Chain A
Amino acid sequence: MKYESQGIAKLYFIAAIGLFVGQIVFGVVMGLQYVMGDFLFPEIPFNVARMVHTNLLIVWLLFGFMGSAYFLVPEESERELYSPMLAKVMFWIFLIAGALTVLGYLLVPYARLAEITMNDLLPTMGREFLEQPTITKIGIVIVALAFVFNIGMTILTGRKTVITLVLLTGLIGLAVFFLFSFYNPDNLVLDKYFWWFVVHLWVEGVWELIMASLLAYVLIKVTGVDREVIEKWLYIIIAMALISGLVGTGHHFFWIGTPDYWQWLGSIFSALEPIPFFMMTMFAFTVVKKRRRDHPNKAAVLWALGTAVMAFLGAGVWGFLHTLAPVNYYTHGTQITAAHGHMAFYGAYVMVVLTVISYSMPIMRGKIAANETAQKIEIWSFWLMTLSMVVITIFLTVAGFVQTYLQRYSDEPQSFMAVQEQLTTYYWMREIAGVFFLIGLLLYIYSFFAKGKEVEAVE
């Protein structure tokens, strides 16, 4: 570790992994509720479990992004972090606010939580992924601004690299677009339209900038390939992300009462959205092939290649599967959407954060890479989690196809619940794969504690 303040990332990463476990536990609970409808009812109804599952995901990914930024920005900028103290304070504020919010979901009925947190003053709750009480949202804004300020001051007063500038643009975008979460008009169509300015412009917009810059950083480190080459790739990948993704927002405007031209615009531009992900795959494999050194952290290289491939499959291929309006007419809001959501989030954002953790954690613990045994276990956990996610995605996709046919396409459409009962077998398979994912995650955590033969640095 070149700069002491990089070590703050460790705090963020530990919290991220802890919340990740919580996310998966609730995922397994929901998977069971899909086949045993009364499981934990009425104590933890499905909607509560889902809120915990999705909100924990968002929060731990944000912890992951922040930790990654705190690790790489001082090194890239060639100076200590502008304010290590602010980074630590914000960590605790964010963790406590996040924990209180999740406890609120679990311990009191949601309507009561809305009352306690005075949602009436500025109603923002109860919209998918934006379920947090308004006060928590304000907290998120404060944490995000303090974070962007801290990172921004470090970058702007130090050496500026393409990686840090792209990362900063992505982080500023993240903070700015979140502000749309405070706009909640009575008009449902307007509400939905601008809701996507948070959700789509995050995951199919600025988060891609963050992902690409993190991946580029790790690839420079583990391959030793010339920065010029990597930066050129980075620019062209994020250029394609914005060119396709901004107007690509239109693929969410097919069926919510918005004008018909979105059918064309949304279909055409979102059909281009796999391109940046495909380029990321090409990029990762090209630079690893051209590597100038064999980095002893083989696990990190595997995660970097893995995220490039899985992001392309999950976001690119599975996104394209149902993005054209004539297809989406039948598949919109079915298990196909769930299948895409799972693999895309895992492939793009979960895996890129785990890539940075894999690369940086050993360095923060005073060595170039984890010991041989630890790496072997980490690689096992990579395959277990990744293959489980592939299986989850496949069964949800099959369920989605059957659902689409029976409920939407056949000559005698059946009711939602009647169709769901015919999907039980697929849901059981998905649940079993979910349990394997959890085992993979526990193995991953164990890898940090495994003892073994230290690897040698070949600088």
Chain B
Amino acid sequence: MRETFTKGMARNIYYGGGVFFLLVLIGLTVDTVRSLPKTDNSENITEEVAAGKRLWEVNNCIGCHTLLGEGAYFAPELGNVYTRFGESTEAIKAFIKSRPVEGIPGRRSMPQFNLTDQQLEEIAQFLKYVDGIKTARDWPPNIQG
């Protein structure tokens, strides 16, 4: 680099730029958090939904599935599974419940988690709540996720 561009100038761009854009990120974060209630479907977070989120977590569902596009890419997107399953929590519950313990020979299969009826209801309610989050451009692009 040229001599007219000194180390001091480079340092000032680093400190100035770093601090400035950190503040911008913080400002945008405050604004985002404030405007979330319009889209985040939080009015539908019941105790059941919260319990369903815990179940989602402690069974590591994200280790195979994506949820709103984030997670692993081994199994289907579940952010819109409620819509895909005909807006039926019963269908979601029936699917999870009927997974064979030993899997399906030669194919990817979901483990049998032995959830109770109450737990099945909670996880289904959680997935229903996630489906109600208003994502930009109504992502995912179609029902297949």
Q: Which residues of A contact B (CB under 8 A)?
A: 33-34, 36-38, 41-42, 45-48, 50-51, 110-111, 114-115, 119-120, 123, 125-128, 131, 162, 184, 186-190, 192-193, 228-229, 231-233, 235-236, 238-240, 242-243, 246-247, 249-250, 252-263, 265, 329-330, 332-335, 337-338, 407-409, 413-417, 420
Contacts and interface: CB of A to CB of B under 8 A. Distances in A.
A279 to B, nearest CB: 10
Given A192-B68, A333-B69, 4 more contacts: A126-B61, A189-B36, A247-B21, A408-B142
B104 interface: yes
Given A243-B21, A257-B68, A329 B63 contact: no
A189 B21 CA distance: 23
A239 B14 CA distance: 4
Given A33-B108, A187-B40, A338 B63 contact: no
12 contacts: A37-B107, A45-B64, A126-B58, A187-B36, A187-B40, A232-B1, A235-B11, A242-B21, A243-B21, A247-B21, A255-B69, A415-B76
Interface of B: 1, 5-7, 10-11, 13-14, 17-18, 21-22, 24-25, 28-29, 31-33, 35-36, 39-42, 45, 49-50, 53-54, 56-64, 66-77, 101-109, 111-113, 129-130, 133-137, 139-145
Given A114-B58, A258-B32, A408-B140, A38 B76 contact: no
Tell me which of B25, B59, B112 has the highest count of chain A C-beta atoms within 10 A of its own C-beta: B25
A286 to B, nearest CB: 9
B24 A41 contact: no
B69 A332 contact: yes
A416 B77 contact: yes
Contacts of B137: 255, 329
Given A239-B17, A416-B75, A255 B107 contact: no
Nearest to A330: B141
Contacts, number: 236
A329 B138 CA distance: 10
Contacts of B13: 235-236, 239
B32 to A, nearest CB: 6
A23 to B, nearest CB: 16
Contact of B143 (A119, A235, A249, A413): A413
Nearest to B143: A413
Contacts of A114: 57-58
A186 B49 contact: yes
Nearest to A129: B62
